[in-house]
Structure 1
Amino acid sequence: MARESFDKEIQFLRMLALAGGAYSRQQFAERLGISVHTFDKTLRYLKEIMSTVYQRLPRDQGKELSEGLRYNYYESADPLLLFLFRAKSLKESESIRLSLILTTLQLQSLTAMEVMDACSGSMPDDFSLPDEKTIRGDLKYLEEIGVIVRSESGRPYRYKAANDLVTQLSDEELIDLFDFVDIMANTQVPSVQGYLLRDNLKKALRQRSMDATVTEPFLYKYHYHSRILDEAHLYTIFQAIRQRRKLRFLYLSPKRTKSYSSKNTNPLFERETEGVAEMLLPLRVVYDHQYGRWYLIGHNSRQGIMKFRMEGLTQIEEGDTVPEEEFSHKLANLEEQLRHSWVTDTGRSVRVVARFYNPDRSGANFVKERVLSQGQWGTITEETDSTFLYEITVNGIFEIKPWLRSFGSSCEVIEPASLRREFIAEWKEIQTYYEPLREDL
């Protein structure tokens, strides 16, 4: 799948997940900046991907796109929208060829020439036969990602599937491994790689005729579907940071009405784009747990430190490499600016003091436990049996404000005075919503 095409599918699924059935076809197409015809074609394409991913499952376990977008609190531990990653950046011929190679190497060790002969005999009639260079390239790629291993014998090298870990585990050990991966994938970020590993382990359990309840011991309510989609860019950005490479991309601000812009390749149909072309040296990736958002922070030669929400990144391309000394200097400067940042704010430091009230009923003090786990570098001072003070120095109050607000009546802001006044005004406004209504209305 082409990079631009994957950008479109990401934004398409993001809107579908967030808006559900709130938009008509015309409104949906306008919001994406595409035609209704492209909308219909993209929807058909996504349905084909999903049916391909689940085609080997029994009918009662198969999925439709509409079913995947129907949310229930305790529906399944399988995350929504993950199916798109299985189709990412693989041509149809590559997908078929790699599947044949892996199937062939499951039961025996083969040389590259033997693998080529096996693939040539099984390729569909409408696809060209692979040559030796292509097969050797595929074997090298599969070996690099750890799917196959090379035997220790001399030339010609023989390859086999790297499934010893699963096959050598007992049933109980395999279940324990699956449970661990299941919990980590659903509670840690990034999580896509964990979900893919979880799916492979589930297949191994089913091959041993394990009961369906064994493969889903836990159920999760997944809140941030956009988080999985944004991980599509994550490893490209991580690689650019490791290699000290600049990135070029088209940024569409989440505040704009358009969430996608096609790449103009035909000069006859060239049009003004809604996005902004950017060149950035990536330095850090930050995840905001409160809102389930990824942020890219880097240095721009014109504007210095810049921050982007990852959901707005499209058409990402790698650029030139910068010297290690320059990269280290910019990274050190950024880390100094982020030293007191609650998430990504690089503004003026502010001292925040809040009084927290312990719950009246006996038992676990969930208020204090939450402050201890989420309060970052803030300090706690016991005040009375029912209250304690929390103090922290942060860059600005914009990012910490929602966290303080989420405690409701269990939190009272003391300093700064401006933030206290803002909270007073907000709670007064909320109070007006609950004023008594006249009975004769």
Structure 2
Amino acid sequence: MARESFDKEVQLLRLLALAGGAYNRQQFAARLGISVHTYDKTMRYLKEMQSSLKQPLSPEQETELSDGLRYNYYESADPLLLFLFRAKSLKESESVRLSTILTVLQDQSLTAKELLDCCSETMSADYPSPDEKTIRGDLKYLEEVGVIVRTSDSRPFRYTAAIGLINELSDDELIDLYDYVDVMANTQVPSVQGYLLRDTLKKALRKRGFDPSAAETHLYKYHYHSRILDEAHLHTIHRAIRERRRIDFVYHAPRKGKNYAAKNTNPLFEREEQSQTQPLLPLRVIYDHQYGRWYLIGHTQRNAIAKFRMEGITQIEEGEVVSEEEFNRHLNTVERQMERSWVVDTLRTIKVVARFFNPERPGSNFIRERVEAQGQWGSITEESDESFLYTIMVNGIYEIKPWLRSFGSSCEVLEPAWLRKEFIAEWKEIQAHYEPVRKNI
């Protein structure tokens, strides 16, 4: 699948997850900057991919692709947001060929020539028959990623699927491992590889006669769809950071209300407004746990620090490599300016002081525990049995403000005075919304 096409599907799935059935075809196409015909074609492609890579929905559920996001409400291990990763950057014939190789290597060890015969016999006539060089290239790739292993040291090499660990586990151990991966994949970032591992363990449980859904200890309602979708860029960006390589990409700021822009090759249909490419030296990737967002921090050609939300990045292309000295110089600048950033803010450093009130009921002090866990480098000072003070020097207040507000009546902002006045005005506005409409209600 072409890289631009993958960006398009990612952005379409993002809109489906956020808007559900609120948009019609024309509105989806306008938001993506594509034609309605391209939108319909993309939807057909996604449905075909879903049917080939996922368990099919029931007849009652088999309506629109967007409905799958509702019917898979708690099943976050098999979300529609994930199946793209299984088909990303693979041609259809390549995907079928790799699936065939892995299937036959599950139960036996074979050489490259034997696998070539298996692929020629089992693959549909719609796909071109692979040659031995192609099969050896596939085996080298699968061995590098740890999916298969060699079973012999002498030529011709024999290969088998790397499922020894799973086969050696008892039923109880396999269920415990499945539960552990389930929890970690849903609570840690990045998470896509954890979900894929969970799928593998689920298939292993089914093969032993277990129903994984009956043994699940946790159910998750997934809130942050961007978290999974934006992981599509992590591998490319992290590799560019390791290699000190510049990248170019097209960026769509969230405030502009445009998620994607088609790259038209036909001059008759070329749009008047072409998206501008952003050149950047990537330095850091930061994840915001509060909103489930990824941020890319880098250095621009105008000698300035730039911050981009990952959800607006499309069409990434790798560029030239910079010297280690230049990379470290820009990295040190970023780390110095973001030393006191709550997330990515680089505004003027401000002292924030807040009073937190302990719960009235005896027992676990969840207010104190949350401040200690999430308060980063802020300091805590005991004030009384009822409250404690929290002090922090932070770049700006716009990122820490939602965190303070989330404590409700358990938090009182003391400094700065203007921030305290803002909170007072906001709480008065909220109170006004709960005023009775009629005096006699």
Q: Which amino acid in 2 is paired with 1:371?
A: V
In the aligned structure 1, how far is the partner of 2:280 from the partner of 2:396?
25
The one-character-per-residue Cα deviations of 1:291-350 (angstroms, maximum 9, x if unpaired) are 110000011121411000000000011111111121112112111111111000112111
Alignment of 1:17-416 (within 5 A): 17-55=17-55, 65-70=65-70, 74=74, 78-273=78-273, 275-416=275-416
> Residue 306 of structure 2: SS of its match in structure 1?
strand
2:185, 2:195 within 8 Å by CA — same for their partners in 1?
yes
Q: Which amino acid in 1 is paired with 2:8?
A: K
Q: Which amino acid in 1 is paired with 2:24?
A: S
Query: Alpha carbons of 1:198 and 1:231: their partners in 2 closer, same or farther (altered >3 Å)?
Result: same
> Residue 230 of structure 1: SS of its match in structure 2?
helix
Report how far residue 435 of structure 1 moved: 2.6
In the aligned structure 1, how far is the partner of 2:120 from the partner of 2:260?
40
Q: Which amino acid in 2 is paired with 1:241?
A: I
Q: Which amino acid in 1 is paired with 2:369?
A: E
> Residue 281 of structure 2: SS of its match in structure 1?
strand
The one-character-per-residue Cα deviations of 1:229-271 (angstroms, maximum 9, x if unpaired) are 1111111111111111111100000111221101132233222
Are 1:435 and 2:435 an aligned pair?
Answer: yes
Report how far residue 411 of structure 1 moved: 0.7
In the aligned structure 1, how far is the partner of 2:418 from the partner of 2:393?
15
Q: Which amino acid in 2 is paired with 1:359?
A: P
Q: Which amino acid in 2 is paired with 1:102?
A: L
* Matching residue of 1:13: 13
Query: Alpha carbons of 1:303 and 1:252: their partners in 2 closer, same or farther (altered >3 Å)?
Result: farther
In the aligned structure 2, how far is the partner of 1:74 from the partner of 1:160?
35
The one-character-per-residue Cα deviations of 1:85-142 (angstroms, maximum 9, x if unpaired) are 1121111110111111112222222221222122122221122211121111111100
1:258, 1:274 within 8 Å by CA — same for their partners in 2?
no
Report how far residue 61 of structure 1 moved: 12
- Runs of 5+ consecutive residues of structure 1 not aligned to the other structure: none
Query: Alpha carbons of 1:76 and 1:310: their partners in 2 closer, same or farther (altered >3 Å)?
Result: closer
Q: Which amino acid in 2 is paired with 1:149?
A: V
Report how far residue 146 of structure 1 moved: 0.5
Query: Alpha carbons of 1:195 and 1:60: their partners in 2 closer, same or farther (altered >3 Å)?
Result: farther
2:249, 2:315 within 8 Å by CA — same for their partners in 1?
yes
Query: Alpha carbons of 1:407 and 1:381: their partners in 2 closer, same or farther (altered >3 Å)?
Result: same
In the aligned structure 2, how far is the partner of 1:103 from the partner of 1:20?
36
- Range that drifts further, 7-16 or 81-90: 81-90
1:248, 1:317 within 8 Å by CA — same for their partners in 2?
yes
- Range that drifts further, 380-389 or 266-275: 266-275
Q: Which amino acid in 1 is paired with 2:142?
A: L
> Residue 294 of structure 1: SS of its match in structure 2?
strand
Q: Which amino acid in 2 is paired with 1:164?
A: G
1:77, 1:218 within 8 Å by CA — same for their partners in 2?
no
> Residue 255 of structure 1: SS of its match in structure 2?
helix
> Residue 133 of structure 1: SS of its match in structure 2?
helix
Alignment length (residue pairs): 440
2:250, 2:314 within 8 Å by CA — same for their partners in 1?
yes
Report how far residue 404 of structure 1 moved: 0.4
Query: Alpha carbons of 1:75 and 1:238: their partners in 2 closer, same or farther (altered >3 Å)?
Result: closer
The one-character-per-residue Cα deviations of 1:190-237 (angstroms, maximum 9, x if unpaired) are 100000000000000000001344552210111111211111111111
- Runs of 5+ consecutive residues of structure 2 not aligned to the other structure: none
In the aligned structure 1, how far is the partner of 2:321 from the partner of 2:384?
57
1:54, 1:62 within 8 Å by CA — same for their partners in 2?
no
- Range that drifts further, 255-264 or 202-211: 255-264
> Residue 70 of structure 2: SS of its match in structure 1?
coil
Report how far residue 153 of structure 1 moved: 2.2
In the aligned structure 1, how far is the partner of 2:71 from the partner of 2:348?
41
Report how far residue 59 of structure 1 moved: 5.6
In the aligned structure 2, how far is the partner of 1:404 from the partner of 1:299?
31
In the aligned structure 2, how far is the partner of 1:328 from the partner of 1:349?
24
In the aligned structure 2, how far is the partner of 1:133 from the partner of 1:358?
68
Query: Alpha carbons of 1:59 and 1:153: their partners in 2 closer, same or farther (altered >3 Å)?
Result: farther
Identity %: 70
1:51, 1:63 within 8 Å by CA — same for their partners in 2?
no
Query: Alpha carbons of 1:15 and 1:222: their partners in 2 closer, same or farther (altered >3 Å)?
Result: same
Q: Which amino acid in 2 is paired with 1:100?
A: T
Q: Normalized against structure 2, the TM-score is what? A: 0.95
Q: Which amino acid in 1 is paired with 2:432?
A: T
In the aligned structure 1, how far is the partner of 2:387 from the partner of 2:89?
55
1:354, 1:413 within 8 Å by CA — same for their partners in 2?
yes
> Residue 254 of structure 2: SS of its match in structure 1?
coil
- Range that drifts further, 31-40 or 293-302: 31-40
In the aligned structure 2, how far is the partner of 1:203 from the partner of 1:337?
48
